[in-house]
């Protein structure tokens, strides 16, 4: 059975949450053992409805920033907020409910079906006995179907084991699972690092649509400069835990690129892709 999916005017219309909020970092610093400073006085305001790409070489602080945003890493100093809610203390749980995250390795339970992986996105609001029996209520099943349709998967794929999917399909399942939380901000940690160019285009197009059609803010860490230029509204470039560029892709010049990546930039700075972007709404299977 097909469940028609209607994209709401704003994501808060479906989620019942307050209007979409800004994700803010104020003087955030994090130092790991061995005096490695992963974040150094980072101050940023990341707005809903925009696709912001965190760009930088390995070890620049991108992943630590995302983990700090969702409360997986505690900063040594500074504050993280989404709207009026601090990612600390008594408001941490409420703040985390406004965020969701997708991962480079997809984070799926490969022995479970596509549908059950997506429904696991609401495990924190599901009773223990339902989790143990995998007996999700009807409304959760319908939400999962809607989320899967919205990322271009079909009803025939819902009962397939996650291990039987391609990498691009697995990442789309990861996005659908994140959407079950009705996030105001979606964090994506290197979501296309393990995908081929065509599947990468597909995933980035979906993230772009979430911004444009639902008003969700997407914060996406990447190494691929060409994808950042093609899809981002805003590029935040990091080096040694500091923000060294913050602006539109059109202002991210070759000189700035070399400052971010050093010698690596000469091999990765091509702004055009060999593979065209698929037409809107035409997702690969």
Residue 204 and residue 202: Cα distance in Å, rounded? 6
Kindly list the distances between the CA atom of residue 263 and the CA atoms of 190, 235, 266, in Å, as whole numbers in the listed order: 21, 20, 6
CA dihedral (225, 229, 230, 233) positive or negative? positive
Three-state DSSP class for residue 138: helix
pLDDT at 272: 35
pLDDT at 267: 46
Burial zone of 201 (CB within 10 Å; 0-12 exposed, 13-18 middle, 19+ buried)? buried
pLDDT at 140: 82
Give the predicted TM-score (pTM) of the model: 0.81
264 near 81, Cβ under 8 Å?
no
Digit-by-digit pLDDT tens for the chain (285 residues) are 233 333 333 444 444 555 567 999 999 999 998 778 899 999 999 988 999 999 988 889 999 999 999 999 999 999 999 999 999 999 999 999 899 999 888 888 888 899 889 988 775 665 565 555 566 778 788 888 889 999 988 888 888 999 999 999 999 999 999 998 889 999 999 999 989 999 999 999 999 999 999 899 999 999 888 899 999 999 999 999 999 999 999 998 888 888 888 755 544 444 333 333 333 333 233
Kindly list the distances between the CA atom of residue 271 and the CA atoms of 51, 224, 227, 253, 265, in Å, as whole numbers in the listed order: 18, 9, 8, 11, 11
pLDDT at 43: 96
Residues 6+ apart with CB under 8 A from 28: 39, 41, 42, 43, 65, 68, 75, 77, 78, 79, 80
Alpha-helix residue ranges (DSSP H) falling in 40-166: 62-69, 92-96, 114-119, 128-133, 138-150
Centre a 10 Å sphere on the Cβ of residue 112 and count the other Cβ atoms it contains. Answer: 16
Residue 115 and residue 146: Cα distance in Å, rounded? 11
pLDDT at 35: 73
3-state helix, strand, coil in the chain (%, to 5): 40, 20, 40
Residues 6+ apart with CB under 8 A from 160: 113, 114
pLDDT at 18: 52
27 near 77, Cβ under 8 Å?
yes
């Amino acid at each position: 059975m097909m469940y028609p999916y209607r994209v709401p005017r704003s994501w808060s219309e479906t989620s019942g949450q307050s209007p979409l909020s800004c994700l803010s970092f104020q003087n955030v610093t994090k130092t790991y053992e061995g005096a490695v400073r992963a974040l150094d006085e980072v101050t940023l305001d990341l707005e809903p409805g925009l696709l912001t790409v965190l760009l930088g070489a390995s070890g620049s602080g991108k992943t630590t920033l995302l983990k700090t945003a969702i409360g997986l890493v505690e900063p040594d100093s500074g504050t993280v907020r989404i709207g009026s809610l601090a990612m600390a203390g008594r408001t941490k749980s409420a703040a985390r409910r406004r965020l969701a995250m997708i991962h480079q390795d997809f984070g799926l339970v490969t022995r479970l079906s596509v549908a059950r992986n997506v429904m696991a996105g609401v495990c924190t609001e599901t009773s223990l006995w339902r989790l143990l029996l995998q007996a999700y209520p009807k409304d959760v099943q319908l939400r999962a179907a809607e989320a899967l349709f919205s990322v271009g998967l079909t009803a025939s794929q819902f009962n397939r084991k996650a291990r039987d999917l391609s990498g691009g399909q697995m990442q789309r399942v990861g996005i659908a699972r994140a959407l079950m939380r009705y996030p105001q901000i979606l964090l994506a940690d290197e979501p296309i690092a393990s995908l081929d160019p065509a599947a990468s285009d597909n995933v980035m197009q979906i993230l772009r649509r979430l911004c444009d059609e639902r008003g969700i803010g997407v914060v996406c860490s990447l190494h691929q400069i060409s994808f950042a230029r093609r899809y981002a509204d805003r590029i935040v470039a990091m080096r040694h835990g500091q923000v060294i560029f913050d602006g539109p892709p059109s202002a991210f010049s070759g000189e700035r690129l070399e400052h971010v990546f050093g010698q690596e930039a000469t091999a990765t700075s091509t702004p055009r892709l060999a593979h065209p972007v698929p037409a809107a709404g035409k997702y690969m299977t």
